[in-house]
């Protein structure tokens, strides 16, 4: 009978319940897993791109700071008409004033040098002796005032004794002893010298002058020079306090006056401006792509598409760049006056660099006010006005690194999404375990029923066909 054949075909051993369970569970899980995976991928990509954006804003802060520090903006070109006579450079701690200075060097500073009596090559001390070294500004503790030289000491050992005493009692004083060999007669002579300048002249006395005495080899002298006709004296040939912001290195006596000139150095600033513009555009382009439409196989495009906070970063940066400077009186109040502006594509440009150079050379203080508000560096912590460039550095920091900044807030939102996704995954996994167990129980019961049905079928067939026995 057809019914009998059907019953046979439904034998318990003919059903693969494990495969059937897996297929049913997979069909149930797949659409939910797809949604969870998509949500997790979106959050992971967003967090990764937020990290990249944070690095970009940190770079923008650094680039803006380079053109928002008044000391860097006041970097000067310093030249000397004869650097073999006078070298000049800008001090790192102060700003050189623009101008020309006439210098005449009449005398160079020199240290006082003391020499010992000449000694034969085999000289050694015949008895203990004491040397007293006087160094201006050095007070020696009682009991350490003298340099003790024992019996039988060679010239080299005497020099060592002097230098060891200096190391212990007058470190950093600039005083040093050395042994010179003239090569003739009694060839060995000890020479002791200190720092240059009359005020730094040293003294050295021996309690056994007949054995070894010291006399002046060359006297101490001050540098004497004129700046714009005004005579100045200093104890050193390196002078840092005669012309504001300049260090002078006096190298020889002048035959003719030397001109030292200082003027603003727009090229150094201009290079930093180029870096700032390039960095700004990298950050801006990244934000436009991340908040714009999705593009296939581009992990950045559209990753922050519906995030209004991310879009606000673009507008805040742009409005700061376009802002008018009003903190202090200035002939230059906008970056556009320096040739810095946005093109039709929204990119920041410096189309005419000569315009920036001209403004900086003609109105350096006004340009410095515009960029830095005369701040030594942007007021990151206080948030005070720091000029246009300084304000960009401040808001870049605030948006990227402050605890309540835009990027940490956005990142926290996506981290919360990941936490919810993790919970959804755990819930789905528990649900899958539950329905898997249910299906397995159901198919076990089905197999039992089919087995029983098969047994009954066999008995019926035997009863209906007794001739087969």
Q: With the C-alpha atoms ordered 114, 117, 122, 127, is the resulting torsion angle positive or negative?
A: negative
The b/e string for 29-47 (b: 16+ C-beta within 10 A; e otherwise) is beeebeebeebbebbbbbb
Q: What's the Cα-to-Cα distance from 206 to each of 203, 212, 215, rounded to whole Å?
A: 10, 7, 10
Q: What's the Cα-to-Cα distance from 337 to each of 354, 385, 469, rounded to whole Å?
A: 12, 20, 113
Q: What would the 3-class secondary structure string for 8-55 be?
A: HHCCHHHCCHHHHHHHHHHHHHHHHHHHHHHHHHHHHHHHHHHHHHHH
Q: What SS3 class is residue 131?
A: strand
**Contacts of 88 by beta carbon, 8 Å cutoff, 6+ apart:** 78, 79, 80, 246, 247, 248, 249, 260, 262
Please tell me the distance from the alpha carbon of residue 221 to that of residue 109, in angstroms, as a whole number.
5
Q: Report the run of H or E that residue 273 belongs to, with start and end.
A: helix 266-291
Q: Are 90 and 74 in contact (CB under 8 A)?
A: no
User: Dihedral through CA 235, CA 239, CA 243, CA 249, nearest 10?
Assistant: 130
Q: Report residue 421 as tokens.
A: 């996704």
**Residue 312 burial class via C-beta count within 10 angstroms: exposed 0-12, middle 13-18, buried 19 and up:** middle
Q: Are 236 and 111 in contact (CB under 8 A)?
A: no
Please tell me the distance from the alpha carbon of residue 86 to that of residue 227, in angstroms, as a whole number.
12
Q: Are 159 and 178 in contact (CB under 8 A)?
A: yes
Q: Is the pTM of this model over 0.75?
A: no
Which residues of the chain fall short of a pLDDT of 50? 1-9, 11-12
Please tell me the distance from the alpha carbon of residue 279 to that of residue 389, in angstroms, as a whole number.
13
Q: What is the pLDDT of residue 162?
A: 96
Q: Which residue has the tokens 């603003």?
A: 264
Q: What is the pLDDT of residue 330?
A: 86
- Residue 392 is given by DSSP the state H
């Amino acid at each position: 009978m057809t019914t009998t054949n059907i019953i046979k075909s439904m034998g318990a051993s003919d059903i693969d319940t494990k495969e059937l369970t897996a297929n049913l569970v997979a069909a149930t899980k797949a659409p939910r897993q797809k949604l969870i995976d998509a949500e997790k991928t979106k959050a992971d990509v967003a967090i990764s791109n937020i990290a990249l954006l944070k690095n970009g804003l940190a770079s923008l802060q650094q680039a803006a700071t380079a053109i928002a520090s008044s000391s860097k903006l006041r970097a000067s070109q310093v030249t000397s008409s004869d650097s073999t006579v006078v070298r000049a450079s800008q001090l790192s701690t102060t700003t050189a004033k623009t101008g020309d200075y006439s210098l005449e060097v009449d005398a160079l500073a020199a240290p006082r040098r003391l020499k010992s009596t000449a000694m034969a090559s085999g000289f050694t001390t015949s008895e203990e002796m004491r040397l007293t070294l006087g160094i201006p500004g050095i007070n020696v503790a009682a009991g350490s005032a003298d340099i003790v030289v024992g019996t039988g000491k060679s010239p080299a050992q005497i020099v060592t004794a002097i230098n060891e005493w200096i190391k212990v009692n007058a470190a950093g004083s600039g005083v040093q002893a050395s042994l010179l060999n003239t090569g003739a007669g009694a060839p060995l002579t000890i020479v002791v010298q200190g720092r240059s300048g009359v005020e730094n002249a040293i003294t050295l006395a021996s309690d056994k002058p007949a054995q070894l005495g010291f006399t002046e080899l060359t006297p101490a002298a001050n540098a004497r020079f004129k700046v714009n006709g005004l005579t100045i004296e200093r104890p050193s040939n390196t002078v840092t306090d005669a012309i504001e912001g300049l260090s002078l290195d006096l190298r020889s006596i002048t035959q003719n006056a030397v001109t030292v000139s200082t003027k603003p150095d727009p090229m150094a600033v201009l290079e930093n401006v180029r870096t700032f513009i390039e960095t700004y555009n990298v950050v801006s382009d990244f934000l436009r792509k991340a908040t714009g439409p999705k593009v296939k196989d581009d992990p950045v495009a559209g990753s922050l598409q519906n995030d209004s906070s991310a879009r606000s970063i673009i507008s805040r940066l742009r409005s700061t760049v376009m802002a008018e400077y009003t903190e202090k009186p200035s002939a230059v109040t906008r970056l556009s006056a320096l040739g810095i502006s946005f093109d039709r594509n929204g990119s920041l440009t410096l189309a005419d660099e000569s315009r920036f150079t001209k403004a900086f050379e003609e109105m350096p203080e006004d340009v410095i006010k515009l960029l830095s508000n005369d701040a030594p560096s942007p007021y990151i912590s206080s948030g005070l006005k720091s000029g246009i460039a300084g304000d960009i550095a401040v808001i870049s920091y605030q948006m990227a690194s402050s605890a309540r900044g835009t990027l940490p807030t956005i990142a926290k939102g996506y981290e919360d999404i990941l936490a919810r996704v993790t919970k959804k995954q755990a819930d789905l996994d528990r649900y899958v375990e539950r329905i898997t167990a249910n299906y397995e129980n159901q198919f076990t019961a089905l197999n039992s029923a089919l087995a029983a049905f098969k047994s009954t079928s066999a008995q019926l067939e035997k009863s209906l066909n007794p001739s087969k026995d």
